[in-house]
Every structure is written in structure tokens, then in C-alpha cells.
A and B are shown apart, each in its own frame.
Chain A
Amino acid sequence: MPSNELAAGPPVPVTPTTSAAEDVIHDIGFRHYDGARFGRGWIVRSLLVETVRGIFGLGRPAKSKIMPWVLFGILMLPPLIIALWVILTGGKDLPLSYTGYLSSMQFVISLFVAGAAPYCVSRDLRHGVIPLYLSRPMKRSDYALAKFGGLSIGLFLVLAVPETLLLLGAVLAKLSIGHQLAGWAGGIAISAILALALSSVGLVIAAFTPRRGLGVAAIVTTLLVASGMSFVLSGIAEQKGYLKLSDYVAMLDPFRLVDGLAVAWFGVSSSSSTAPPPGALGGTVFALVAAALVGGGVAILVRRYRKVGVV
């Protein structure tokens, strides 16, 4: 097949002596690739990186960058103000604990999740992109896990940067380093757990709502309703005298769940007046529920993608 050799053959080497030939563009035909082909590890990592970038609007149109960066900016404001205030007034401690910061920014964090989770999964579902992923050397669960990992990392960054800003302010204000470092480490740990829990809730909802706007609304509503329910039920239980029940009902809200973990593990005071988990048992139960929330979410997500893209 001479035409084949002509088309797919190696490019004719251009010798430096014939300078005129260097300006000519040769159509060298379709080139084949014999190099390395990486496996699932590389593919999952690439998809994860792509997801994290996309959450912050990188590689997407300008208008996709507005929401994440505005919300990220809002999340950085309190640490900046607190840091300045402590530096200028010379206080003995931060007016807000590292973990308390997470609870106080609950609404903004919820909005960020509501914007990011649908981007991660709804877009591919809506526009039918899944078959293109499935026809590549990866497993269905790889896709779900990469998206989960990507959103978790993106969320963690959004929480960890303000936490670190708080630490920076405390250090500049010459507060006790050891104490602040311990507080910061706790804040980072709780941020990580909160990122996992919120990713799990957000992605499960988004994966069942291919319409992006619907997904955003559903996630905000779910997080707000969960929070409201948990406070209302806690209040009712407390009035009726079931104090333990009142404490445990806090677990309905992911933010109060991780707040309870912060109280149990790091001994910080609870940011919501009603939620100190009772003792070692309480801490264990809260931890188990958090693990179940994350694990259950991932399991539902993986299950969901077992069905997508098959007739």
C-alpha cells in the first residue's frame, strides 16, 4: 500500500544547509504514537487535578471564575480582620477558635459546595460526556472517586487557607506559638473532615440532578434544612428534658457533627451553644457517624455511576 507509506512515513529530515526548505510546512500525514501509555493511576490523578482546577474556574470561561473566587474572598475576610484586630489591640488570644471559624462561616461554605459539586458531576451527566470517559482505560468507580477526591481537595484548600491566615495573624501578634499551632492543627484536621463530609453530601445530590441550577438549589436547601432541623430537634429534646438526645441530634447537621468532633478530640468549646457531645462515647459515636456519612456518600456515588452510560 504505497499511499499508506507516503502518508504515515517518517518526516523527511530537513538538513540545515538547505535554509529555504526550513520554511516549508510538510504535511507528514497521521503520525502514530509508540510511547508510554499510563494506567489508571495517572488517569485518576489527571481527572482529579482537572476537577480541582475547574472548581476554581481555571481553564473555564471568565464567568465561571466569579462565584468561587468571590466566595473564597469572603471566607478570607474574617481571618484578615481578626488578625489585624489582634495585632492592633494586642489581645491575649484569638476571639474565635480555629474550629469555631468553620461553623461561623457555615452559610458561605455551603454556597461554595453548592456551586462546586454540580460543576464536578452535573456537567458531564447533562452533556452526555460520561460515555467518553467510560470508553477510556478506567473503571466506572475511578471516575466517581476522582471527582470525590477533587472536590474534597478543592474544599479543603478553601478551608485550610483561611485557617492558616488565622495562624499567621496569631504569630504576627506574638500569641503563644505552641497553643496556636495546636489550635491550627485541630482546625486543619476538622477542615479535612468537613471537606470530606460536604463533598459526599454535595456530590450525591449533584449526581442525581443533571440540571445544574437544580443541583445548586438542592444542595443549599439540603444543608440549610439539615442545620435547621438539627437545631429545632435539639431545642425540642432539651425542653422535654432529653439532654443526651438533644446532643446527639446535632449530628444531623454536618457542620455541628464536625464541631462535636472538635469538642471531643481537641477540647475546644463548642461554637453552637447546644452541641457538646457527651464524653468518650459521644466522641466515638460522632466519629462513626462522620465516617458513615463519608463512606455512605462515596458508596452511593459509585453505585450511581455503575448505571450511567449503559443502555
Chain B
Amino acid sequence: MRLVRIARAFGFCSALVALAALSTPAAAQSAKPRLPEFTAHYPAEKLVEGAESYGPMRDDIPVMPLLKGGEIIGYAFMNSDIVGAIGYSSRPIHIIEAVSPDAVVLGAAILQQSEPLLQGGSREVAVKKLAASYAGRDLKPEAVTGGSGREYPYVSGVSVSVRVVDDSIIRSGLKVAFTLGLGGLELPNRQEGTYPTVNAAATAPTGWDAMLDAGLVKRLELTNATVDWAFAQPGQHAWATRYPNRGAPDDTFLDLYTTLISVPGIAASVLRPSEIDAMNAQMEEGGHAILIASSGEYSWRGSAFRDNGIYNRIELVQGDKTIKFSAREQVALFRISAEGAPLLMENSILFIPALANFDPTQPWRLQLLVQRNLGAIERAYLNYDIDFALPANFITAPWVTSEMLAEQARAEERAAQVAMRNSVWQNNTVEIAGLAVMLAVLTAAFFFQGYLTRSARLTFWFRIGYLSTTLVFLGWYANAQLSIVNLMALANSLRTGFDWETFLMDPMTFILWFSVAAALIFWGRGAYCGWLCPFGAMQELTNRLAKLLHIPQWTLPWGLNERLWAVKYIIFLGLFGVTLTSLDTAIKFAEVEPFRTAITLKFARAWPFTLYLSVLLFIGLFVERFFCRYLCPLGAALAIPARIRMFDWIKRYRDCGSPCQICANECMVQAIHPTGEINPNECLSCLHCQVQYQSKSVCPVVIKQVKRREKVAHGAHAVGAAIERTQVANHPHAIRVAE
């Protein structure tokens, strides 16, 4: 199993969001819990070995205790009752999960899912195994990051479904653990009430002494004598007294001041405006900053920070957290300019990252390590504390209503989904970049098709190369095969509540669909069907090989060809109708597309599917693109809007079709009517007829014009110019000029 690592930078900000999300009970999920319905058919013993029964469901959160001999051994719940678990199909992946009183996952099992790529086959087994593998996972470490920033398991080809499984198992487990207080995890108080925050409007008195009196700046004053005394205390290093401080006993060893400088009122009294700007520029969203300023013999900075970038003589303690400070991110101040401030030499604004979960309204203390060198190696240490608590007038506690909390919970849930989506995009950069290049190349080829199609050889090899890339890279490597299932999921989500996030979860499909939409306006269905569809490419490439081996090709009689076209529309409409009643059933019928067997599962499937695929490919050896032309429901869906395209890029002469039928006969998909016009619903934009269009050896119109020009100009004029004029004159939009 390959592991995909989430980019650190991203994991960092998402962790904050997700952590906030954790602190919300399941209030965001308003629908009726489905836990009772699922537990009715899934015995407790199957979920966790040894469990005997489920207890009654709680009122506050849809969780049932798991009982064994009357004792609670864990808690069972549905992931989909607790967090958003919408998969690729726009429907939830329902997973029953159990968590122990110590916040360890006891068991997890997928009970119901409509994921199109997980209907039977080895992947469904793999993902079910994956869900079961969460048993034993300790959620407590996940709580630190809020359930994000971890490595995602990888199951080839179904990354979206897997991410939803992973994300919802961990996040719902965490939410339950936090709500029930499992494993020491505790939910911050999220009821209606008052929440203390820093009062940004509070102002501090001016003047250094007034700040000290108000407790807004805290001081630690150490003389040589106090430190010598402390080093002489029992339990200190035996040699500590042999190395007393230099200087007079009353001389200052260290005079250190600290404050929570990120509080606006304090900053305004201590710093100059330019210093405040410098601080705010470096402080991250949700972060905080303290000021440390000192004079005296002892340096709180020390020198070791030059090696490891961390100040190792100071640390901040709040609650059970110890925070060390980075020397790389700081604002050093030459002096403290507050009125009446003493001359201080070592002054820095140090930053507390948002991730540290520092609460500015709660007391904290700065710990100072005093280190005394005893000879070459031995050292003795002292630890001094400076306590800081923000005065009451710097704290406000606004009343927070339950509506505000619910809104916040919704925003957090959304943010968690955005976080998950962003990670998906970052993990697929290779695929996305590859697709972008392919789309750019194809767009250029279409825009400059006149130049491209001057050479039959170049056009041929360009097409073979492109189709091979489509099959191998887009298809087999990136699994970017569009399917009628995408449209069915879209239709379903339009009915049940459209959500961009679900579609953004799969970058390749999203980009491809966006391109298809754009291409439909410009060129019709051909851009996708003819160039970007991996299965289409597979059919065409296998047919090419067949032709190479001189396998006879069968051209269908025009009347039959035209009537068979209709079949795909019937299939498409039928599937659409079934979708309206049941997406699950429709997804089963969508197996009429052999894409999953051929592309995503690479033939590794039960024999009826591979047999069906083989039959289609076999027919395709004799009838080029048989499936695309007559059966493909996706092709039908794309063909319907094909007539809305804004431009006619495929050029024709007025004489085409009367009587010349060369292009019509050579068109691989028989999209050219005997009357000469191209059926845009069927055309795959292979550009073959465009090669003919300017072929001096095939197209009778060109041959005639060239000969006439040669006569007129005695061969002196450039042949190209002749062609050009001919094209203009013959263009359907051109005004006919009498010859």
C-alpha cells in the first residue's frame, strides 16, 4: 500500500480549522440519525469481538454504548450521523464505528455505499479491508491535529472514496471522543454563554512604571547574591558554589521584563507604530506574541540558538503546554521606547504559533533557565518563573448564542471539507500538470489545425501519439476516464442539494469535465470522444493494429449506420430515467460502459465483465469505434448539445458530397452524410477529412484548382497561394464569385 503524504504547509493551517471543527457536537447534522436502523441488522458482536449488545441511543449525540456483561466496553455510531461523509457518488458512505473509553477505534465496517467505482471487484474488497484496519487506531494523537495532516491510505483508482472513508472514520471518532470525553479528550464548552477573548479596545496606562503597577508588564530581578544563594541550596550541583558570579553581590545578574505584546492595548503603550507593524507582519493568523526585554550579566538568549534556532533558556508554560521559541522568527528591538523604560539591551518580540493553542485570557508563566558553567563540561541549572495573567479589564466575554455557534459549526464543517479537497489537489500535481499539458497541446492542435493537417504523416503520427498518451497516462495511470456515472451523480446532487466540494474532490474528473464543457462550445463532442477518452483511444489503437494486420473492415450501409446511431440515445435516456428513481440501480446499469473493466480495473474483473469488454473490442477490430458510435451513453449525452457549438472548424468545399464521397468513405465513424455535410453529433474531430481537404493528391477540388492555377501562372506561382484562394472562394460562408 502506497502512502501519500500531505504537504506540511497545508496540514498546518487545516489542522487549526479542523481542531475548531472538532469542538462542535453533531449539531450540524440535522437529519434523523440512522444508527438505530443500521444497528438493527448489524450485531454488536460483529462490530467488536466480545460485545454482546447495543445500549440505548444517547440524546445529545447519536451514539449507542456497546455492552458486555452489563458493562460499557465502547461506543458505537455511524460516521454519517456525526460528520459529512459524502463520497464520489454524492451519497454518504455509511460506516459503523466503535470507539473505546480510551479513544481507541475498536472496529469499523462499511455498511452501505453507492460509490460507482466500488461496486464489486477487488477494490471494494480493498476498501472494506481498509475500513476494518482502523481497529486499534488511537485517536488521541489525531486530536492534536484535529484529524488532519496525516498520511492517507492509498487504494489505486478510488482515491476520493478512500479519502472520505479515512476522513470520516477519524473525524467522527474524534467528535464522539471529544463529546463523550473519551481518553481524556475534552470538548471546550460550546454551549450558549460567554466566551472570554482579549478586549482589543482596552488601553494600558502610559509609562513603564504604570504598566508594571497594573500588572501589564512583569519583572524578574536577580542580583548576583540571589543567584549565588540559589546555587548554594541543597540538591544543587556539588561544585555550583565553586564558581560564584563575578561582580559585586548587589550587581544586577538579570533584570528581565515580559508581557503579552500581541494584546493591542499593551503594544500601543510599549512599542512604536513601526514596531507594531513589524510584529503584525510576522504574526500568523490566530498566533500571539510576547516581549522579553532584559539587561544584566546573564543573557536569556544564550548562544545555542545559533545552532538549532531555538532559544533554550526560556519557555512558556500554560496549562499542560510548554512552548519553546524560535530564534528565526522574531522581531529584535534595539531599545524599549516606552516612557520611563530602563535601558534594556536584549529585547525581542517572540511568536507563539496558532497551533500551540495558547489562550491569551488564561494565566501563563515564563520559565527562565539559569545555567552556570562549572569548569569545562559540568553545568548547574536553576529555574525561575515569571507569572503573567491578563488583567480583567483586558478581557471581554461576549454572549454567544446557540445560533452563532451553529453557524460557526457549519462554517467549520465546510472548512474541514475544503481542507480535505485542497490536500487532494496537492497530492495529484503530477496528474493535473500532465492533463494541463495535454489540454494545451490539443487546443493548439485544433486552433492551428490548418497547419497541422497540411501533412498527412504528421497528423497521423500526432494522433497515434496523442491517443497512446490518453490511454496510458490519462487512462491507466491517472484513471481519468469520464463516465455517464459522473452525470448521474451530478443529476442526483442537483436533486438533493448541489455541492461543489464533492465534485472538486476529484481533480482530474473535475478538470476534464470543465474542458469538455468548454470544448462543447468550441468544437462539439469530438474533443473529448475523439481525443481524450481513454476507452475511445483503446478502441482506435486496437483497430489501427487490426488494419495493420489487414483485418478486413466492414463499412455499415448508410441506412443501418444512421439507425444504429439512435441506440446510444435510447441507452442514455433509459439510464437517466433509472437515475431519477434509484441512483444505485442506475449505477449497476451503467456497467453498459466497459470503462471500469478496461481502464480503471485494467481487465482484473469477474469474467462476465471481461467477456463483454472483449466482445466490444473484437467487434471494434472490424467496425471502427463500434461502441462510441452506437452504444456509448456518455457519447450520446455529449452529442445532444453538440449543435450548440459556436464555430464550424471543420472545413468543407461546396462541392463536397456532390459528387465526391472520398471523405465520407474514409471517415472512421461514418459521420459524413452522402450529401456532404458532417453530422456534428457523430464527428469525433479526428481531423482526417481536414487532411484530405488540403491534399493535393486526394481532394479533387484541390487538384482541379492547382491545375488551373498552374495553367494560368505557368507554375510560377506558389501552389500554397492557390490553395489558399481556393479555400476562401469555396468556403460556405464566402460570397460566391463568378468564375
> Do A and B belong to a common assembly?
no
Residues on B facing A (Cβ under 8 Å): none
Residues on A facing B (Cβ under 8 Å): none
